[in-house]
Amino acid sequence: MRVTIFGSGYVGLVTGACLADAGNHVVCVDVDAGKIERLNRGEIPIHEPGLEALIRRNSEAGRIEFTTDAVHGVEHGLFQLIAVGTPPDEDGSADLRYVLGAARTIGSHMNRYCVVVTKSTVPVGTADKVRREIEQTLKARGAPGEFDVVSNPEFLKEGAAIQDFMKPDRVVVGTDNPRTTELMRALYEPFTRNHDRLIVMDIRSSELTKYAANAMLATKISFMNELANLSERLGADIEKVRVGIGSDPRIGYSFIYPGTGYGGSCFPKDVQALIRSAREVEHEPQILAAVEAVNARQKEVLVAKIRQHFGEQLKGRTFALWGLAFKPNTDDMREAPARTIIDRLLEAGARVRAYDPVAAAEAKRIYDGNESFELARNAYEAVEGADALAIVTEWQEFRSPDFERLRQLLKTPLIFDGRNLYDPAMVGRFGLTYHAIGRGRPVEGR
């Protein structure tokens, strides 16, 4: 099939590469000429395991191409996928200027039937706005045009996006036309052959499904962080509580790990947008507001523990940080807890020496010119001579470190673990003082 994708960011690139790998001819359109030039040179602007090889293979086979030529894109595709960004506006609502801009572009150049698909995460009612935008543009041209608008939200996890697309849990399709249902079924058939995972619903329900899914996952994270803070005050161990409740199949183990809060490009933005949508229809979303408030507070917890240990005199101290990305297997630092922690330490006059396996370039861009922030080449270089180590992202390589070496390298044998990676008693046996999240009093090194 012929597919055009507007937007060559995270969703657009993964979607395009996976659809091309199934044999479709995909054209990715972006207004950023520099990005298109890099993509045509084989340079991938994001870190996602397996994506570079997938794009290279399909580029060489002629199944995917990258261009700034919107006219070519509109002429090419039976499916016109809108996968542009929807950044939060100042009031927390989703900014639809790029989505509606893509709709106008489609309306300006379409000359035959096409299916316009919103892949971007958008508020309920956006498909109606996309439809009106295209209709008005066609009317201004004096051009006839037949098209359908479909909502097809993405459910891709950063770090596992290709697997999620190739073997989806579900494919949600919002449509008001049986014809588009069958076209969308045909597009996704290579990925759902062993079991039909297409879930068809009305457009508004499809748009809300995406926000509801992310809000539910964010709620689980904030709820566990709330329990972790309570557990710490009651002298309980949240890790034992987690195992106890996760064994209940009604709850399960996913997204019940306490830590330093959620981040990334989806959960913070989508919770805020859903709150805004609720208030626009005069409904106060009390749970969602609490989820957001708990998360904002949780990002401050590790620094609060550091202050409790050292007092307010952090000026001149050096803190090692393991992990910068908001989660493993990505270089995405948008809304990452590490940014809050770094900012608070720098504001207090401390120095930060950080290490992340893949997010160093992004961190350098963010903190460029700040002499109190430096990047280490490896985990052990980061801790050398530091007053303490703070663990913020649960990268695999941090799970079994050389504790004896850590004790020798650290100026003070002290770990603040924001991801509860280790057994406290074991760390203490190596002579390290260990502060965790929700695990009672810190374990003193022996």
For the CA atoms of the chain, what is the radius of gyration? 24
Q: What is the DSSP letter of 443?
A: B
**Catalytically active residues, by annotation:** 266
- Could you tell me which of 113, 165, 153 has the C-alpha nearest to residue 134? 113
Task: Map residue 8 onto helix, strand or coil.
Answer: coil
Length of the chain: 446
Query: Is there a contact between 348 and 341 (Cβ–Cβ < 8 Å)?
Result: no
Half-sphere exposure of 391 (CA within 13 A, CB side): 26
Residues 6+ apart with CB under 8 A from 53: none
- Euclidean distance between CA atoms 156 and 191, whole angstroms: 14
Tokens of 348: 């207090």
417 forms beta bridges with: 391
Tokens of 257: 């790990």
Report DSSP letters for 23-61, one per residue.
Answer: T-EEEEE-S-HHHHHHHHTT--SS--TTHHHHHHHHHHT
